[in-house]
Amino acid sequence: MGPMSMTTRTNKATNTAHALRLIGVPTDIGASRLGSAMGPDALRVAGLGPALRQLGCQVSDIGNLAGPPNPQTPPEQGLRHLAPARAWMDAVHQAVGQALDDGELPLMLGGDHSLAMGSISAVATHCRRRGRALRVIWLDAHADCNTPDISPSGNLHGMPVASLCGLGPAALTALSQGGDPALAAASLCQIGLRSVDDQEKRLLHSLGVEVYDMRAIDELGMREVMRRALEDLEGSDTHLHLSFDVDYLDPDIAPGTGTPVRGGPSYREAQLCMEMLADTGRLGSMDLVELNPALDVRNQTAELVVDLLESLFGKSTLVRADR
């Protein structure tokens, strides 16, 4: 009998029933490539809702939010589509905030990563009202820490981190609805980075964001990276938010994204990441963004993401001991 077979105590964190609210946000307004607007329905086709219910989660799906079309216009003062994108962010902010107020875990299905400005600002507002600390784990190939002054493209999906930390136009930073930045840089941890613009990396460094790029994962291993990222959560009442960009994954296993970068986490590394997040028992909200079915192969990326989310919400090969 192997050592894992001898452990029979159930890990409470990975067997906690969740009440989840799926919130579809079908827009690619913050991206340069069209297609992520189809992401929410691709995840539904891949069986996301039934898979989570099979794990004992209570899942409500409110369908897709409505918003303005993608005008596909060039940047103005370093920003593309600011007004219609802000309308989508407002809708996300309201929907995520309502789910939290109703005691459900909002799972925002994008759509591009600019939508995280709406979701995380709502989560931050919720945490401030309740006096809870917030920890954001940001899984991404990119830093998403541009501002209009330094962005090469003006695409808003490259700006959410800077905006959430209070840098950028008031139309974006004001989403926190409190005057202060929605997110303290110290509460953010980015994992998987491997494509960062020159000025962006300097801004990221000046903010003091905790970052584990792919070199750190190669040198330390995914287990140690996740241990460091999550070590302050044990015994706390911290709200954990996961912002999961599909391009975090290596494109060999996840081709269905608009900004793929070679050299990302493998299938097993990604699974361990999800399993260790689940072990905390602290997950309270989530973004799932940048799935682009137009670039996928027979929906395999959506199916992979559903597989990973099963691990995030409690699926385990064995009964594991409390750690």
Residues marked active site are found at 113, 140, 142, 144, 157, 245, 247, 290
User: In this structure, are residues 225 and 269 in contact, taking their beta carbons and an 8 Å threshold?
Assistant: no
Tell me whether residue 205 is annotated as binding. Answer: no
d(CA 197, CA 90): 28
Beta-carbon contacts of residue 21 (< 8 Å; ≥ 6 apart): 59, 60, 61, 62, 99, 102, 104, 105, 106, 107
Q: Which of 249, 242, 310, 294 is nearest to 42 (CA)?
A: 294
CA-based nearest residue to 164, from 186, 184, 142, 178? 184
Which tokens sit at 89? Answer: 């962010």
Contact (Cβ atoms closer than 8 angstroms) between residue 278 and residue 317: no
- Helix axis angle, 222-230 relative to 267-280, nearest 10°? 30
Candidates 255, 245, 247; CA nearest to 301 is 255
Q: How far is the C-alpha of 52 from the C-alpha of 48, rounded, in Å?
A: 6
Judge whether 113 is annotated as a binding position.
yes
322 marked among binding-site residues:
no
Binding site annotation covers 61? no
Q: Residue 28, annotated ligand binder?
A: no
Determine if residue 90 is labeled as part of a ligand binding site: no
**Angle value at C-alpha 273, between 272 and 277, nearest 5 degrees:** 110
State both tokens at 122: 């709502």
Residue that has been written with the tokens 């004001």 in this structure: 174
End-to-end CA distance of the chain: 20
Closest CA to 292 of 119, 42, 82: 42
Nearest in space to 136 (alpha carbons), one of 229, 241, 253? 241
Q: Please give the annotated binding residues for Mn(2+), written as ranges.
A: 113, 140, 142, 144, 245, 247
- Residues making up the annotated binding site are 113, 140, 142, 144, 245, 247
